Amino acid sequence: MVGHELAAVLHELTARPGFPLSQDTARRICAALGADGAAVSLTHDGPPPGEQLWSSGRTAGELEELQFTLGVGPGVDTARSGSMVLEPELRTVPADRWPGFPPGAQELGVRAVFSFPLRIGAIRVGVLLLHRGTPGPLSQDALGQAQILSGALALSLLGGRDTQGDGRPPHPAHDGSSLVVDWVADRAALRRAEVHQATGMVSVQLGVTPELALLRLRVHAYTRGLALLDVARDVLARKLRITDDGHDGERDTK
Amino acid sequence: MELADTLVDDFDVVDFLHRLAVHCVDLLDVQAAGLILTGPGGNLHTAAASAEHPWLLGLFDLQQEQGPCFECYRTAAPVPPRGMAETLRRWPEFGTAAQQAGFASSYTVPLRLREDVIGALQLLASAPEEAAHTAAGDRDGMQVAQALADTATLGILQQRTLRQREQLAGQLQSALDSRVVVEQAKGVLAERCGVSVDEGFTMLRGYARSHSARLSQVARDVVDGRLGIPQPGPSKH
């Protein structure tokens, strides 16, 4: 039965490549892999975990967002290393491994997290992040299927025309292919645009690189238990100014 | 067949094809083998041979536009061995060269996957009986030859596909990277000039346009502090 779900997903992905994935596909992916939810993010040279492209549901989206807020998590490790990361029980993760992530994830009702790289040959393009509310490892079957699925998802990002998987080359790259690339990049980047804009503002305010500016934003969010996106919005609205001394000035908005 | 194990992502095509040619000679009781392939321009070139002898390579080189290899590629069908008299008649240049090289017969199969034909695999024998034996009597030999050709075809096509996909993946990464930098640049300008991020974007676009520069490059220069964009003057209505 599990094999059928995956086969249906693969068929769907090759017949209609691209994102977002349908609710049906999302449900099948979760059923095939024994997960409660899944999220796909794209990686690039910028700060990991990259940009969120799609999530199967609210928890999956918020879990991926949590990683982005904190800058740590299994998906972040996968984005950096290109290797899968399997964590069947967040309760027993040492506190210094992903600071802030296990408690934050458990608050979302998540106990197990598994992340897989999405790769095209030597190039890492993204991460598939799975979660489950009950602890325990992925079955051997699920593990194998997750790897197959990761390959199919990566192809889907490119508009994946190689539908038979038999080595036939896709049609020559023309406007169609680059349109897919642009669409995917646009779609992903829009989500966190405000965070990147705020990063730019803070980099000027503090006279630091964007990487350090983002780190300061993250520290501010983490120490106050806020979502990074909300902090970014406050910076953009000029309600919040990140300062050197750590006593970030918040203007009363009354 | 151990060659099938080499069909993984990063195998070296040239090395793979050379080993395939050598394998043919070992397996099929012929004296030489070679592969011609289509290149990016659509022309055929000698991709590999079982031995690096100039006279052998030359024999394949001259078949880029005539001879059994060319005919095989053109018709996408096997070209069975023919007697030397007929060979000389059909393909005078090839026949002469083959004779001089000590070969008496050839058997050529296409490198083909459905309607994609990417070249040909040719087996060369020094004794006519052997090729006849292969062609007429030894069905297994023929099947092995075609199977080896099919293996080569699959490997090459997969490798080509992978290169194209890696190119696209690289483009995706660049596009994403550029989007992030543009957003950062909006923030930088908004803070420096005390304007909204939307106005920052307008400034970016305006500068890029008037300097015929790429938006992503202008954004990068702004974020890295290499470029300051003057604030627009009061707008005229």
**pLDDT(A152) > 70:** yes
Determine the average pLDDT of the residues in A59-87: 94
pTM of the model: 0.72
Determine the average pLDDT of the residues in A250-254: 52
Query: In this complex, do A200 and B188 lie within 8 Å of one another by their Cβ atoms?
Result: yes
Q: Is A184 in CB contact (< 8 Å) with chain B? A: yes
Choose the mutation target among A42, A44, A205, A243 for the interface with B, i.e. most B CBs under 10 Å: A44
**pLDDT(A223) > 50:** yes
**pLDDT(A11) > 70:** yes
**pLDDT(A230) > 90:** yes
Helix H or strand E segment including B183: helix B139-193
Q: Is A166 in CB contact (< 8 Å) with chain B? A: yes
pLDDT number for residue B11: 57
Q: Is A187 in CB contact (< 8 Å) with chain B? A: no
Structural tokens at position A239: 């309600």
Instruction: Please name the member of A125, A157, A167 whose beta carbon is closest to the beta carbon of B157.
Output: A167
* Rounded distance between C-alpha atoms, residue A51 and residue A79, angstroms: 11
Residue whose token pair is 């069908």: B77
A157 within 8 A of A42, measured Cβ to Cβ = yes
Closest chain A residue to B198 measured between Cα atoms? A197
Query: In this complex, do B223 and A197 lie within 8 Å of one another by their Cβ atoms?
Result: no
| Among the listed residues A119, A206, A185, A39, the one whose alpha carbon sits nearest the alpha carbon of residue B181 | A185
With DSSP H G I counted as helix, E B as strand and the rest as coil, what are the percentages for chain B, rounded to 5?
60, 15, 25
Closest chain A residue to B179 measured between Cα atoms? A189
pLDDT digits (tens, 9 = 90+) for A82-128: 999 999 999 999 989 999 999 999 999 999 999 999 988 888 889 99
| Among the listed residues B122, B120, B116, the one whose alpha carbon sits nearest the alpha carbon of residue B157 | B116
pLDDT number for residue B234: 60
**pLDDT(A78) > 70:** yes
Instruction: Please name the member of B113, B169, B186 whose beta carbon is closest to the beta carbon of A166.
Output: B113
* Rounded distance between C-alpha atoms, residue B121 and residue A105, angstroms: 58
pLDDT number for residue A179: 63
Query: In this complex, do B172 and A185 lie within 8 Å of one another by their Cβ atoms?
Result: yes
Residue-wise pLDDT tens for chain B (237 aa)?
A: 344 433 444 457 778 888 889 988 988 888 999 999 987 777 888 989 999 898 899 999 999 889 999 999 999 999 988 888 889 999 999 999 999 999 998 999 999 888 889 999 999 998 775 555 555 545 666 778 888 888 888 888 878 888 888 888 888 888 888 889 999 999 999 999 999 999 999 999 999 999 999 999 999 999 998 888 877 666 544
Choose the mutation target among B183, B202, B204, B215 for the interface with A, i.e. most A CBs under 10 Å: B183
Mean pLDDT of all residues in chain A? 84
A153-167, A179-193, B82-96, B161-175: which has the highest mean pLDDT? B82-96
Q: Three-state SS for A51?
A: strand
A62-71, A155-164, B157-166: which has the highest mean pLDDT? A62-71
Q: Give the C-alpha distances (Å, rounded to integers) separating A173 from A41, A123, A170, B18, B162.
A: 24, 18, 8, 30, 13
Closest chain A residue to B160 measured between Cα atoms? A169
